[in-house]
Amino acid sequence: MSSNTPAPSSTGVSPSTANANAQDAAQSANPVDRLVLEYLRARGHKSAEAALLEAIESGSTEVSGNTLSSDDLIKGLAVFAQKPSRPGENVLKDSSSVLQELSTMGNPSSIQTLIASLGTAGAEEILSLDPTDKHEGFRELESWVEGSLDMYKPEFLPMLFPIFCHFYLDLVQKGFKEAALHFHATFSPSLAPTHNVTLHHLSTLMLPSHVQNDDLAQRFRNEKYVIRMSRSGFSLLIGWLTEGVGGETPGAGEGFSGEKGKRGRAAVMRVVNNHLRFDVTNASATSVSPNAWEESTGLLSSLIPAIAQPNGSSAVPNPHTFNTSKGELKLGPAPTSEELRAEAERILREQAMLDRDPSAQYDAHFTRPQALPGIVSPTEADLLPHPPSFKTIDVQREVEKVRDARKRIRLDPSAMSSVDMNSTQSTSARSKALPSICAYTMHDVGEGVPCCTFSPDISLMAAGFSESYIRLWSLKGEKLRGLRSDASPDVADSSGVSRLLEPDGSNTRKLIGHSGPVYSLSFDPLGGSAAPPKYLLSGSADATTRLWSLDTMTNVVAYRGHQNPVWDVQWSPMGTYFATASRDRTARLWSTDRTSALRLYVGHLSDVDCVRFHPNSLYLATGSDDWTARLWDVQRGTCVRVFIGHQGTLSALAISPDGRYLASAGEDLAINLWDLGSGRRIKKMTGHAASIYSLSFSAESSLLVSGGADWTVRCWDVRGAGSQVKPHENGVDEPQTLRPAEESNETTDLLATFPTKRTPVINVHFTPRNLCLAAGYYLPLEPR
């Protein structure tokens, strides 16, 4: 609560007025006092007004300069403190707690009584109103962190950011706009560049009401900011903070000098006490990797769902404890029914006989899902309900899956690690490790193509446009035929169906139905790579998800339920179900035959930007604007894993086909690789120079391909360990294209970069045979 805007309900001289007076005394030239005086006059508090004027005069005459010792202030204020009426509760919560703290610290009894006589108008609060202490305090803290030993620096540095935020918010809330701006301008450049987004957001808050209404500011206010620190580091910090209470140590260098310094340190301590929470670990400071703070620092308590813990809520929120508390996941491949498998095997054997290919009959083992050691496979009962019988298309899909597995191009990124890239073997190593990428470039796209996707059998490509329509292309050069407009549905015989279709189609087809940009498309996976898909799902800014039949080329269903734009939509791997992610902070599970959602996945603090199913369809991964990714139990609707570590909005997700890894890309331009089982981050891969739009794993899960707004497609080694520094080498054709700015942050697991010509890559897609497809749109040189 600010001092110059007292609660209108208060009668008499409210304590906040007294605060204002005191502060005026401290800064006689402050424009605030004019406001207060006017206020008092309007309210008719004559005595208070007179006293205030007196105080201003005395302040300006007796004390030269604009600082006052606390004792003087308190004495001066004692007069007003005699007649406090009922204060606004929320105003004084903080000050009363401060009082309690003070009293426990064992101050001289005279001060204690004085403070007690002050009642709710806390002296500490009066002091805290002086904006200079924040400035001073932060400067001291920064220089202390800078001057600390190198081994502690990585631990202390994350602490600067929350303290900065709180100081800034304090200043804004108290109405010191200029001081806040000055504070921001002075210190924000020195903070880690990863916080840029938040710092920018904070800089837009300039009035107390903004702080009241802004989500982020309220999260800072109401939640504890968790910082992980080693035991020794923490005790050093405590030592530095408390030193001031007992007076300055001699020879402390710059240290905190005088009253101002002491109050600065007190301000730091206030933030530390009220808003920070230290997760003290026994690990030594040196064993922590430089990026580790990302996972365990921040406003974690609301990001991590509450878990019933026997020891109460005292535990420091930690994603790992949450993840382990959720138990083991069933990450193995989904079971296929015995009959389906038998049928697929029979067909495979027949085919092998027909083709006289004796080796083909050993393929049958591919039909049995290979469970990796240490991973639990789900049983039939775990799966989402689905029809018990199987159709021809299911068999075809299973058979094709086996063929794909056999004809797959094996990609082995480890081949590249052992070979010197300058030697002659490098070409053969590259061909073993890296995929062939076919790029589909769209031209003349108008206002933009938010999404583009390939059907699982690569017979179709669909793109959603900002102009609210969807366009389908046949990649095989076949005609796409829709339903005739004059068709009558009463055709009994099977030949009639083809008569219902248009006599001639074209290679491309426009699907119109949405009333906002189409942000996401998904082809139904039922046909697998064996047959063309029958349905297409699209999510749009008009908050609907639409189902399109590719037989008739018409919109079949519109699923309404989301309140805000639908950012992403994806089919479950077995069809029938699909999931959507929306700006309304929820992800939802739908079944195609119902128009309302089956499950709501609620817990993200901001937009849910992307959604991906686990290959066995038991789990759903979501990525959000709150910088986290989560894994949900699809059936129960509960969050089972939280992935904290990105320093920006998540833009893309991918789960590896073997079901073990989650790759997430964020606006911090990093790709994080997570182990789904433990919920821990395996590594952080950097190298992209702009937003990453799409991620895709190769069929063996050994290679990750990413495409982004920096007009490149990049290949990453999933298994190899990545490290920061790397002698740059990308192969024969690279050197001309390198921009020097890019080289700095590439990790060693970046195997190759393939630049395109002014084409942001909006989708990358691995076929089951490990051919990589990339889609993007060409940016003409001059904007139209």
Kindly tell me which residue out of 64, 104, 422, 736 binds other proteins, with binding defined by CB under 8 A: 736
Q: Looking at residue 452, what DSSP letter applies?
A: E
Residue 56's CB is within 10 A of a number of other CB atoms, namely 20
Instruction: Tell me: does residue 167 bind other proteins (CB under 8 A).
Output: no
Closest separation between CB of residue 393 and other proteins, Å?
A: 19
Is 66 in contact with 26 (CB distance < 8 Å)?
Answer: yes
Mark 159-189 as b/e (b = at least 16 C-beta within 10 Å).
bbbbbbbbbbbbbbbbbbeebbeebbeebbe
Q: Which of 333, 482, 645, 755 binds other proteins (CB under 8 A)?
A: 755
In whole angstroms, how close is the CB of 562 to other proteins at the nearest point? 12
Distance CA 100, CA 97 (A): 5
Residue with tokens 């919109």: 555
Question: Which residue from 309, 370, 737, 744 is in contact with other proteins, where contact means CB under 8 A?
Answer: 737
- Return the number of the residue (424 or 494) whose C-beta is nearest other proteins: 424
Q: Which is nearer to other proteins, 236 or 652 (CB)?
A: 652
The answer to whether 723 touches 431, Cβ cutoff 8 Å, is: no
Nearer residue to other proteins within complex by CB, 118 or 449 = 449
Is there a contact between 465 and 517 (Cβ–Cβ < 8 Å)? yes
CB of 409 to other proteins, least distance (A): 6
Q: How far apart are the first and last CA of the chain?
A: 50
Shortest CB 512 distance to other proteins, Å? 14
Under DSSP, the state recorded for 640 is E
Beta carbon of residue 605, minimum distance to other proteins (angstroms, whole number): 14
In angstroms, give the least distance from the CB of 253 to other proteins: 27
Candidates 69-77, 246-254, 334-342, 748-756; binding stretch for other proteins (CB under 8 A): 748-756
Residue 280: name the closest of 227, 338, 359 by CA: 227
Total residues at interface with other proteins (CB under 8 A): 101
The least CB distance from residue 499 to other proteins, in Å, is 28
Helices (H), 4-88: 15-26, 31-43, 46-62, 70-81
Residue 183 found at the interface with other proteins (CB under 8 A): no
Q: Which of 365, 368, 391, 476 binds other proteins (CB under 8 A)?
A: 476
From CA 42, how far away is CA 31, in angstroms rounded? 17
Binding mask of the shown chain, residues 698 to 727, with x at each position contacting other proteins by CB under 8 A: -----------x---x-x------------
Rounded distance between C-alpha atoms, residue 641 and residue 303, angstroms = 11
* Minimum distance, C-beta of residue 638 to other proteins, in the bound complex (Å): 27
Residue 207 near residue 200 (C-beta atoms within 8 A):
no
Q: Which residues in the 436-465 window bind other proteins by CB under 8 A?
A: 436-451, 458-459, 461, 463, 465
Q: Which stretch binds other proteins (CB under 8 A): 76-84, 109-117, 424-432, 489-497?
A: 424-432
Of residues 190-249, those binding other proteins (CB under 8 A)? 193, 196-197, 199-201, 203-207, 209-210
Phi then psi for residue 583, to 5 deg, are -70, -20
597 lines the binding site for other proteins (CB under 8 A): no
Q: Which of residues 355-414 bind other proteins (CB under 8 A)?
A: 404, 407, 409
Minimum CB separation from other proteins for residue 466, in Å? 6
The nearest distance, CB 221 to other proteins, in angstroms, is 17
Q: Is 477 in the site for other proteins (CB under 8 A)?
A: yes
Give CA separation, 98 vs 507, 660, 669, in Å: 73, 50, 42
Strands 692-697 and 703-708: antiparallel
Helix axes 177-187, 132-147, angle to 10 degrees: 10
Ranges within 622-681 binding other proteins (CB under 8 A): 625, 649, 651, 667
Q: Which helix (H) or strand (E) holds 762?
A: strand 761-766
CB burial of residue 66 (10 Å; 0-12, 13-18, 19+): middle
670-699: which residues touch other proteins (CB under 8 A)? 690-691, 693
Interaction of residue 164 with other proteins, rule CB under 8 A: no
